[in-house]
């Protein structure tokens, strides 16, 4: 696949890229970090980041990949010389870190699916409050689940992405979309929707914790799969005739829309039942896995029918993201170390699993791992630490260098040609000027400002 480029069909890129972007970031992470950061102001900063940082960097990554026809490390070498290859390497390491905890959470979709199947058949029993804690603390189960998830990812990568993933995402993503819309419509009948909208869309900056700005910017990178080369890799498989800027805008829109829907669904149910609100605050990390099943079985018409399907699809959404993560690592091993695809897949997956062992055991099973802390209260444990490190530091730093590369170093003619500046169907002059301004000045300055503020001890983290 790496030697034989341009292999996505015309619609294939958008499916794969949206598949990479839409995942646990939208359904699991965004609802819980937005909750922690008290809604409104956080959401606003996140939305601004998505537009002024996310969209231009998405374009930049895709154009690097499509022009170089290579995976990130050789792509940077080809377009910028050896001195730029570090950006590609940083991305690969980031991918390994993310895969090393993402697979643990992704593994939870397996048990949610099987539990829902059981409940749908033999009736739902309200779960005792600490059941999720027990589940997280069950080390061997956590190890097994993340193993299964990485193994499934590896099987698909082993076969090559196109036949497996392009075909499956074509059916699954639209179904996921429909179920989410159905759930949104259902919760909109509940009176608590008013409180939800107030919480999400009425910014009050006094409520924003000092860590919030960094988290909002970091999450924009995470949820759009930016800053580590996933979009460079996928861009290299993109059809020449596809519009980069339009595809990028579409992915950004879909991703943001689904994230907001996930919040609307979960918060409305939380606000509807004060008792849930209390238990949720204790374990917001489990919102998707505790609050939602409860909602599905007790408040939503046909919830029992929807629930197992929903968790199956969440699992698939996570899978299309882990595939893009592993693909970055594997394509590097193929291009740089001349491994064949099978050997590269085995080594890449094993490396990811080693990292995931530490994450899997850090949810209560091994106290040394669970108490491990670099970023202070609320972020204890290997899993949270890796999440914070990758999303809030490694991705923004990687993204920063990508803006500098495309904005300042890459020959302008390459961007113009890839975006079709002077072509009839290409980018309009005005959009191109906006893109240049964002990628050259605003995006790098915004990222830099946040990073410097953190380093100078603004206590953003
Ligand atoms: N964007 C994915 C999500 O929201 C996670 C991801 C990050 C995937 C970085 C690839 C690269 O779940």
What separation in Å is there between the alpha carbon of 190 and the centre of ligand 1?
31
What separation in Å is there between the alpha carbon of 386 and the centre of ligand 1?
14
Cβ–ligand 1 distance for 324 under 6 Å, the answer yes
DSSP 376-407: -TT--SHHHHHHHIIIIIIHHHHHHHHHHIII
Cβ–ligand 1 distance for 98 under 6 Å, the answer yes
Which pLDDT does position 221 carry in this prediction? 95
Phi, psi of 7 (to 5 degrees): -95, -5
Burial of 351 (0-12, 13-18, 19+ CB in 10 A): middle
Which pLDDT does position 173 carry in this prediction? 83
CA 21 to CA 257: how far, in whole Å?
Answer: 12
Q: With both helix axes pointing from N to C terminus, report the angle between 303-337 and 12-21 in degrees, rounded to the nearest 10.
A: 110
What separation in Å is there between the alpha carbon of 315 and the centre of ligand 1?
13
Per-residue pLDDT of the chain (461 residues; tens, 9 = 90+): 444 555 787 788 888 899 999 999 999 999 989 998 999 999 999 999 999 999 999 999 999 999 999 999 999 999 999 999 999 999 999 999 999 999 999 999 999 999 999 999 999 988 777 788 899 999 999 999 999 999 999 998 888 767 767 777 778 888 889 989 998 998 899 899 999 999 999 999 998 888 888 889 999 999 999 999 999 999 998 988 899 999 999 999 999 999 999 999 989 888 887 766 666 655 567 778 887 888 788 878 888 988 998 899 899 899 999 999 999 999 899 888 889 999 999 999 999 999 999 999 999 899 889 888 888 777 789 999 999 999 989 999 999 999 999 999 999 999 999 999 988 889 999 999 999 999 999 999 999 988 887 777 654 44
Which pLDDT does position 1 carry in this prediction? 40
| CB contact set of 84 (below 8 Å; sequence gap of 6+) | 76, 77, 405, 409
Q: Whose CA is nearest to atom 10 of ligand 1?
A: 225
Q: Which atom of ligand 1 is nearest to the CA of 321?
A: 8
Q: Hey, what are 229's tokens?
A: 């080369």
Identify whether the C-beta of residue 291 lies closer than 8 Å to the C-beta of residue 201: no
Cβ–ligand 1 distance for 199 under 6 Å, the answer no
Q: Which atom of ligand 1 is nearest to the CA of 222?
A: 7
Phi, psi of 10 (to 5 degrees): -60, -40
Cβ–ligand 1 distance for 23 under 6 Å, the answer yes
In the three-class reduction of DSSP (H, G, I as helix; E, B as strand; rest coil), residue 74 is classed as helix
Which pLDDT does position 5 carry in this prediction? 56
Instruction: Count the neighbouring beta carbons within 10 Å of the beta carbon of residue 194.
Output: 11
What separation in Å is there between the alpha carbon of 25 and the centre of ligand 1?
6
Which pLDDT does position 284 carry in this prediction? 61
Which pLDDT does position 460 carry in this prediction? 44
Cβ–ligand 1 distance for 24 under 6 Å, the answer yes
Mutate to test the pocket of ligand 1, among 16, 19, 20 (most ligand atoms within 8 A of CB): 20
Cβ–ligand 1 distance for 20 under 6 Å, the answer yes
pTM above 0.75, yes or no: yes
Identify whether the C-beta of residue 99 lies closer than 8 Å to the C-beta of residue 326: yes
Phi, psi of 346 (to 5 degrees): -60, -50
Identify whether the C-beta of residue 25 lies closer than 8 Å to the C-beta of residue 218: no
Mutate to test the pocket of ligand 1, among 95, 221, 225, 235 (most ligand atoms within 8 A of CB): 225
CA 218 to CA 409: how far, in whole Å?
Answer: 24
| CB contact set of 424 (below 8 Å; sequence gap of 6+) | none
Cβ–ligand 1 distance for 234 under 6 Å, the answer no
Cβ–ligand 1 distance for 228 under 6 Å, the answer yes
Identify whether the C-beta of residue 82 lies closer than 8 Å to the C-beta of residue 120: no
Q: Whose CA is nearest to atom 7 of ligand 1?
A: 225
Cβ–ligand 1 distance for 225 under 6 Å, the answer yes
Q: Which atom of ligand 1 is nearest to the CA of 255?
A: 4
pLDDT digit string, tens, across residues 3-56: 455 578 778 888 889 999 999 999 999 998 999 899 999 999 999 999 999 999
CA 38 to CA 27: how far, in whole Å?
Answer: 17
Q: Whose CA is nearest to atom 11 of ligand 1?
A: 225
Total count of residues recorded for the chain: 461
Q: Hey, what are 316's tokens?
A: 């698939």
Which pLDDT does position 176 carry in this prediction? 87
Phi, psi of 361 (to 5 degrees): -90, 5
| CB contact set of 30 (below 8 Å; sequence gap of 6+) | 219, 223, 259, 262, 263
CA 351 to CA 332: how far, in whole Å?
Answer: 14
Q: Which atom of ligand 1 is nearest to the CA of 94?
A: 9
Q: How far is CA 85 from CA 75, 79, 238, 345, in A?
A: 8, 10, 22, 22
What separation in Å is there between the alpha carbon of 451 and the centre of ligand 1?
21
Q: Hey, what are 140's tokens?
A: 């061997």
CA 20 to CA 432: how far, in whole Å?
Answer: 25
Q: Whose CA is nearest to atom 6 of ligand 1?
A: 225
Rg value, the chain, Cα? 21
CA 268 to chain centre: 23
In the three-class reduction of DSSP (H, G, I as helix; E, B as strand; rest coil), residue 422 is classed as coil
């Amino acid at each position: 696949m790496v030697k034989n480029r341009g292999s996505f069909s015309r619609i294939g890129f958008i499916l794969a890229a949206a598949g990479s972007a839409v995942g646990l970031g939208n359904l699991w992470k965004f609802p819980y970090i937005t909750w922690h950061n008290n809604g409104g102001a956080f959401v606003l900063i996140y939305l601004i980041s998505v537009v002024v940082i996310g969209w231009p960097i998405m374009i930049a990554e895709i154009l690097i990949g499509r022009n170089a026809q290579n995976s990130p490390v050789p792509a940077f070498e080809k377009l910028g010389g050896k001195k730029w290859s570090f950006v590609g390497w940083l991305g690969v390491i980031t991918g390994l870190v993310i895969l090393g905890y993402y697979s643990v959470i992704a593994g939870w979709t397996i048990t949610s699916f099987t539990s829902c199947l059981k409940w749908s058949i033999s009736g739902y029993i309200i779960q005792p409050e600490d059941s999720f804690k027990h589940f997280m603390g069950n080390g061997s189960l956590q190890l097994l689940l993340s193993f299964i998830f990485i193994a499934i990812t590896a099987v698909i990568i082993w076969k090559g992405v196109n036949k497996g993933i392009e075909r499956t995402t074509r059916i699954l993503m639209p179904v996921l979309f429909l179920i989410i819309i159905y759930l949104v419509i259902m919760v909109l009948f509940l009176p608590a929707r008013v409180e939800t909208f107030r919480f999400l869309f009425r910014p009050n900056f006094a409520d924003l914790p000092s860590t919030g700005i960094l988290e909002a910017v970091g999450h924009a990178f995470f949820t759009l799969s930016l800053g580590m080369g996933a979009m460079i890799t996928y861009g290299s498989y993109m059809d020449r005739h596809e519009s980069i800027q339009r595809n990028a805008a579409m992915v950004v829109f879909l991703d943001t829309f689904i994230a907001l829907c996930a919040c609307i669904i979960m918060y409305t149910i939380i606000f509807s039942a004060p008792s849930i609100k209390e238990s949720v605050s204790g374990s917001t990390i489990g919102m998707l896995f505790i609050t939602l099943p409860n909602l599905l079985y007790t408040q939503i018409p046909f919830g029992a029918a929807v629930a197992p399907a929903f968790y199956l699809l969440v699992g698939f959404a996570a899978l299309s993201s882990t595939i893009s993560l592993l693909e970055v690592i594997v394509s590097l091993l193929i291009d740089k170390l001349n491994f064949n695809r099978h050997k590269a897949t085995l080594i890449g997956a094993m490396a990811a699993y080693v990292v995931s062992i530490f994450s899997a055991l850090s949810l209560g099973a091994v106290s040394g791992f669970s108490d491990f802390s670099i970023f202070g209260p609320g972020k204890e444990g290997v899993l949270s630490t890796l999440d914070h490190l990758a999303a809030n530091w490694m991705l923004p730093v990687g993204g920063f260098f990508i803006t500098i590369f495309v904005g300042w170093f890459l020959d302008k003619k390459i961007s113009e040609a890839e975006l079709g500046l002077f072509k009839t169907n290409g980018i309009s002059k005005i959009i191109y000027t906006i893109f240049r301004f964002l990628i050259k000045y605003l995006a790098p300055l915004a990222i830099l400002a946040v990073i410097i503020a953190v380093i100078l001890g603004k206590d953003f983290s």
